[in-house]
Amino acid sequence: MEAFGLLLHGFAVLLTWKTLVLMMVGLVLGIFVGVLPGLGGPNGVAILLPLTFTMDPTSAIVMLSCIYWGALFGGAITSILFNIPGEAWSVATTFDGYPMAQQGRAAEALTAAFTSSFIGSLVAVLLITFLAPMISSFALKFGPPEFFAVYLLTFCSFVGLGREAKHKTVISMSLGLLLAGIGMDTVSGNLRMTFGSPELLRGINFLVAVIGLFGISEILLTMEERLALRGHAASISLRVVLGVWKDLPKYWVTLLRSSFIGCWLGITPGGAIAASFMGYNLAKRFAKEPESFGKGRIEGVFAPETAAHASGTSALLPMLALGIPGSGTAAILLGGLMVWGLNPGPLLFVEHKDFVWGLIASMYLGNVVGLVLVLTTVPIFASILRVPFAAVAPMIVVSCAIGAYAIQNAMFDIWLMLGFGIVGYVFKKIGIPLAPFTLALVLGNRAEDAFRLSMIGSGGNLKVFWSNGLVGSITTLAIVLLFWPVIDRLLAGVGLTHRTRTTS
Amino acid sequence: MKAAIALAATLCGTPAVAGWEPAKPVEIVVAAGAGGASDQMARMMQAAIQKNNLMKQPIVVSLKGGASGAEALMYMKSSEGDPNKVLIAYSLIYMLPLSAKIPFNWRELTPVSVVALDQFVLWDNSAGPKTVKDFVAAAKAASAPFKMGGTGSKREDHVLTVFLEQKTGAKFSYLPYKSGGEAATQLVGNHTEANVNNPSENLEVWRAGQVRPLCVFDKERIAYTAKVTETQSWADIPTCKEEGVDVQYLMLRAMFLPGKVTPEQQAFYVDLFHKVTQTGEYKEYMEKQALKPIFLTGKDMVQFLEEDDAQNKALMTEAGFVAK
């Protein structure tokens, strides 16, 4: 158990008053940053990075990673209370978290979100601790065809497993893919659909779209329908927290499945968003009453949060071991490492043991301390819902605007956000799901690049997607999921399954 | 957050120098993604300036890598007269306007200084051919596409690949990745046969023994003789010309201010970056990343830029990458 000894050594490096204070400061800052939509982890870490230049690398990374954990916890708060995802991977958390808050179960939803974040991260950290060397060689197996297969799997699971009408999912996804094409095309080096506008050069930022689609449209709907945020009388006490924890064992399958999906997608870069959606969809698929999802089911909070955080945490592994950042925040941390003269790469684990194991130990400690911290503040956050809508709504709109602006310091993005707010409103009115749209917007480009690189590499031969066991099985699974409703019916027809078909 | 910046500002207090000085935090604009060579250099400068108290105001790194860096160029262009933004530029200032018809011309910005020249090296997987000759032979003999990874399309890596094809007669399939780091890992994972990364982009995987440098695209060998791996230093890599492939390319790393700033403002930054090049951080960075030290400013710099522009334009035209 060499890893265990090294981990203990990491804790020894970490357990000083100075480090613990830095940890608390980092977590509190992180939660604040996470609560503001759009500001999020990457920006928070970027702003505070220069402050750490005078610290030693271990203290610095502990503080920065605690800002990161804090932001991860904080991101769930706005998703659940206001239907505004603070981070891209909190989108799926809104599906059931927001309805729960509306039914007066905000505290329960928040507790569920924080607890499952903790569980997801913990599983991922355990994985990092004991399997680090093996996992980095697994990540190296991913070339363009493998990446494309994973993206395809995400898209297909949406169409095949989603509860919404299939044609509406496809319409929504296609619109997202269309918008994702705006801007520079990496493969050809040409601009697409920018119509000579310098503002469109950057393409459409995913977070700007999400803030508009979810946050602004929600405000519009609320204004039209009821002029009040529902669900104020949230009963908040230790009893709620313990109640949620007592029920945890009932959901062990969901938690385990989501952790597994999260870890798997986290070590393949860019997977946290895909992981949260996939975790949610699979939980829904295997539930006894899938139609109750989206109406405030606690499992609908557990599944995406566990997956997103397992993935967010395991994303640090490819960053450390290979120098590929798995998320925006990981990319900023990567920049920080280089300033301190630590070059992420295969040798980091060999040459800077103190640092690496100090960081891993801080993941354990940071998560435990973070969980306690957010749980004790649940009442404060949940009480925001008791403030009258007329007072809260302008504040939400302003913080959305600040968030949208801060991402790229562009005024244009605020207009874009308002535009997406109207699009989101219309979509909700005519029953087109928003999730496939956002998914396509964030993964569309990567999927396209991966597909075209695969085609260049294989000389245009589609067989490349079945060229080895890994890519072949992912691709096949994707196609099975795409046609799942048909397959499900066929299986039921020949009596191979007991499933009674649920209404679609 | 504001408080954090203000705190950083007070920590970096430094005696005043005569003449103009920034009154607001200064932004180093990076025309590439996080973790790339430009970002690393900007962070090194940020650390060098803060640690050595070279400026009163804090300095922040702002990543504008959208649209393959075009975002940063347009951002600088639209910041006319703003002396608190400084771009860390590389060859994209010549190439992007040609390949993607971006309405940008570096002559509209205010040149400050050229701070380094970056090398390009031909790398293959350490399980691949050991010499340039064997490598070219393998490429010619390959039946499936022989894959060369690189950063972006119709840019320096792509141009180098085309010239390699012309000089050797081999045929490559060029795979444009989003960053040099990605090109490096894809080579390690055997998804490509080779890449033409900058030294800094492949440094770590070279030290880990996962890739092999075949030759450097310069007239002379890299000057640094300290051992990087157990057996080799940068100076041990032969030039491509020595190995019979006469292809040379160096890439500038230069600082620019937006257009229409005053001569005093320009002078401040010339002085600032001159001081940066004297710091230990800069010198250590140059050696570690195998960059060629250089400091050009004023007329010398403009002359250098004009010649470099002409050369890049010729290469792009010959490779057929200029948009019509």
What is the tens place of the pLDDT at every residue in A56-87?
A: 777 887 888 888 788 778 778 878 888 877 66
Residue B318 above 80 pLDDT? yes
Considering only alpha carbons, which residue of chain B is nearest residue A39?
A: B1
User: pTM, whole model, 2 decimals?
Assistant: 0.81
Chain center to CA of A65: 17
Stated as kind and residue range, the H or E segment containing B118 is strand B110-118
pLDDT at position A502 is 42
Query: How distant is the Cα of B305 from the closest Cα of chain A, in angstroms?
Result: 23
Q: Which residues contact B134 (CB under 8 A, 6 or more apart)?
A: none
Token pair recorded at residue A408: 């790229």
Contact A142 B189 (CB under 8 A): yes
Quick check: B145 and A47 CB within 8 A? no
- Contact criterion met (CB < 8 Å) for A453 and B176: yes
User: Taking a C-beta distance cutoff of 8 angstroms, is the pair A478, A156 a contact?
Assistant: yes
Q: Does residue B216 contact residue B239 with C-beta atoms inside 8 Å? A: yes
Q: Residue B44's closest chain A neighbor by CA?
A: A339
Most confident of A289-298, A345-354, A425-434, B291-300: B291-300
- Pairing relationship of beta strands B251-257 and B85-89 according to DSSP bridges: antiparallel
Q: Which two tokens stand for residue A261?
A: 């999906």
Whether A198 and B76 have beta carbons less than 8 Å apart is answered as no
Q: What is the pLDDT of residue A157?
A: 78
Q: Which of the residue ranges A3-17, A141-155, A325-339, B305-319 would you say has the lowest mean pLDDT?
A: A325-339
The alpha helices in chain B, defined as continuous H runs, are 2-11, 37-51, 70-77, 92-99, 132-141, 156-168, 180-188, 199-207, 263-278, 280-288, 298-319
So what's the pLDDT on residue A217? 84
Decide which of A403 and A364 is more confident: A364
Q: Identify which of A57-71, A327-341, B67-81, B112-126 has the greatest average pLDDT.
A: B112-126
Share of chain A above pLDDT 90, in %: 15
Alpha carbon B205 to chain centroid, angstroms: 19
Q: State residue B106's pLDDT score.
A: 96
Pairwise CA distance, residues B69 & B63, whole Å: 9
B-chain CB neighbours of A53 within 8 Å are: 46-47, 50-51
| pLDDT attached to residue B216 | 97
pLDDT score of B235:
96
Amino acid at A207: L
Confidence of residue A24 (pLDDT cuts 50, 70, 90): confident
Question: Strands B147-151, B173-177: parallel, antiparallel or unpaired by DSSP?
Answer: parallel
A468 and chain B: CB distance < 8 Å anywhere? no
| Residue A238 CB burial class (10 angstroms; 0-12, 13-18, ≥19) | exposed
For B207, nearest residue in chain A (alpha carbons): A347
Poorest-confidence range of A46-60, A118-132, B177-191?
A46-60
Q: Give chain B positions within 8 Å (CB) of A202.
A: 66-67, 71
Contacts of B207 in chain A (CB under 8 A): 345, 347
Mean pLDDT of the residues in chain A: 81
Asked if A313 and A330 count as a contact pair (C-beta separation under 8 A), the reply is no
Choose among B103, B118, B161, B148: nearest CA to B320.
B161
Query: d(Cα A227, Cα B179) in Å, to the nearest integer?
Result: 48
Is B14 a residue whose pLDDT tops 50? no
| B292: amino acid identity, one letter | K
The residue-averaged pLDDT of B71-96 equals 94
> Nearest CA to A282 among A263, A299, A264?
A299
Instruction: Tell which B residues from 58 to 97 touch A, by Cβ distance under 8 Å.
Output: 58-62, 64, 66-68, 70-71, 74, 78
Among A233-247, B29-43, B295-309, name the most confident range.
B295-309
* Interchain pair A335, B40: CB under 8 A: yes
- Kindly tell me if the per-residue pLDDT of B40 is higher than 90: no
Instruction: Give the residue, B226 or A267, on which the prediction is more confident.
Output: B226
Which chain A residues touch B60 with a CB distance below 8 Å?
A: 47, 50
A-chain residues within 8 Å CB-CB of B175?
Answer: 144, 453, 456-457
Q: Find residue B195's DSSP bridge partners.
A: B123, B149
What pLDDT does residue A321 have? 74
pLDDT score recorded for residue A500: 45
State mean pLDDT over B105-129.
Answer: 96
**Is the pLDDT score of A392 beyond 80?**
no
Phi/psi at A50 (nearest 5 deg)? -60, -30
Find the mean pLDDT for residues B92-109.
94
Instruction: Name the least confident of A408-412, B172-176, B293-297.
Output: A408-412
- Measured between CA atoms, how close is B169 to chain A, in angstroms? 19
> Cα B47–B51–B53 angle (5° rounding)?
115
The neighbour count for residue B143, using CB atoms within 10 Å, is: 5
**Over pLDDT 70: what percentage of chain B?**
94
A and B: number of Cβ contacts within 8 A? 155
The pLDDT tens digits of the residues spanning A468-481 come to: 998 999 899 889 98
pLDDT classification of B217: cutoffs 50, 70, 90 = very high
Helix, strand or coil, per DSSP, at residue B28 = strand
Q: Cβ contact (<8 Å) for B204 and A203?
A: no
**B174 in contact with A, Cβ within 8 Å:** yes
Q: Indicate if the pLDDT at residue A38 is higher than 80.
A: no
Mean pLDDT of B139-152: 92
| CB pair distance less than 8 Å for A189 and B50 | no
Q: Which residues of A205-224 are buried (b: 16+ CB within 10 A; e: fewer)?
A: bbbbbbbbbbbbbbbbebee
What does the pLDDT average to over B238-251? 95
Separation between Cα atoms, residue B11 and residue B57, nearest integer Å? 10
- Highest-pLDDT range among A343-347, A412-416, B4-8: A412-416
Place of tokens 């070059």: A343
- B58 neighbourhood in chain A, CB within 8 Å: 50
Inspect the interface and report whether the beta carbons of B50 and A50 lie closer than 8 Å: yes
The rounded Cα B142 to chain-centroid distance in angstroms is 32
- Mutate which of A140, A146, A192, A352 to test chain B, going by most B C-beta atoms within 10 A? A140
Contact B8 A189 (CB under 8 A): no
Does the structure show a pLDDT above 70 at B133?
yes
Q: Which residues contact A113 (CB under 8 A, 6 or more apart)?
A: A76, A79, A80, A93, A97, A301, A305
Percent of chain B with pLDDT over 90: 78
What 3-state DSSP class applies to B224? coil
Q: Is the pLDDT of residue B10 over 60?
A: no
What is the sign, positive or negative, of the torsion defined by CA atoms of A303, A430, A82, A109?
A: negative
Could you tell me which residues are beta bridge partners of residue B125?
B211
B61–A335: do the CB atoms touch at under 8 Å?
yes
Confidence of residue A232 (pLDDT cuts 50, 70, 90): very low
B13 pLDDT band, cuts 50/70/90, is very low
Tell me whether B142 touches chain A (CB under 8 Å): no
Average pLDDT value for residue range B87-115: 95
Mean pLDDT value across chain B: 90
Interface contact flag, A188 B8, Cβ < 8 Å: no
Indicate whether A355 pLDDT > 90. no
Cα separation, A397 vs A392, in Å, equals 9
* Residue B231 confidence class, pLDDT cut points 50, 70, 90: very high
Q: Could you tell me if A207 lies within 8 Å of chain B, comparing CB atoms? A: no
Residues 145-184 in A contacting B (C-alpha not used; CB under 8 Å):
183-184
DSSP bridge pairs for B254: B89, B114
- Residue B243, Cβ neighbours under 10 Å: how many? 17
Please tell me which of the candidates B8, B34, B185 has its beta carbon nearest to residue A331: B34
Would you call B287 helix, strand, or coil by DSSP? helix
For residues B66-89, give the mean pLDDT: 93
CB–CB of B60 and A50 under 8 A?
Answer: yes
Spatial distance between the Cα atoms of B117 and B257, rounded to a whole number of angstroms:
19
Chain B nearest C-alpha distance from A303 (Å): 30
Q: Is A344 on the interface with B (CB under 8 A)?
A: yes
- Chain A residues 406-425 with CB within 8 Å of chain B: 408-409
Residue contact B46–A334, C-beta within 8 A: no
Question: For chain A, how are helix, strand and coil distributed in percent, rounded to 5?
Answer: 80, 0, 20
- Is A252 in the B-facing interface, judged by CB distances under 8 Å? no
pLDDT at A236 over 60: no
Quick one: pLDDT band at residue B248, thresholds 50, 70, 90? very high
pLDDT in tens, A415-459: 999 999 999 999 989 988 887 888 788 788 888 999 999 999 998
Percent of chain A having pLDDT more than 70?
83
- The CA distance from A450 to the nearest CA of chain B, in Å, is 9
Residue B28 phi, psi (nearest 5): -95, 115
Q: What is the pLDDT of residue B222?
A: 96
Indicate the pLDDT class of residue A231, thresholds 50, 70 and 90.
Answer: very low
Please tell me if residue A456 touches chain B, with a CB cutoff of 8 Å.
yes
The whole-number pLDDT of residue A208 equals: 83
- Among B52, B129, B98, smallest CA distance to B319 is for B98
Q: CA-based diameter of chain B, in Å?
A: 67
Q: Pairing mode, if any, of strands B121-125 and B194-195?
A: antiparallel
pLDDT tens string A275-304:
888 888 888 888 888 788 888 889 899 999
Cα separation, A123 vs A120, whole angstroms: 5
* A95-109: average pLDDT: 86
- Which of A87-96, A219-228, B41-50, B299-308 is predicted most confidently? B299-308
In chain A, the residue whose alpha carbon lies closest to the alpha carbon of B61 is: A46
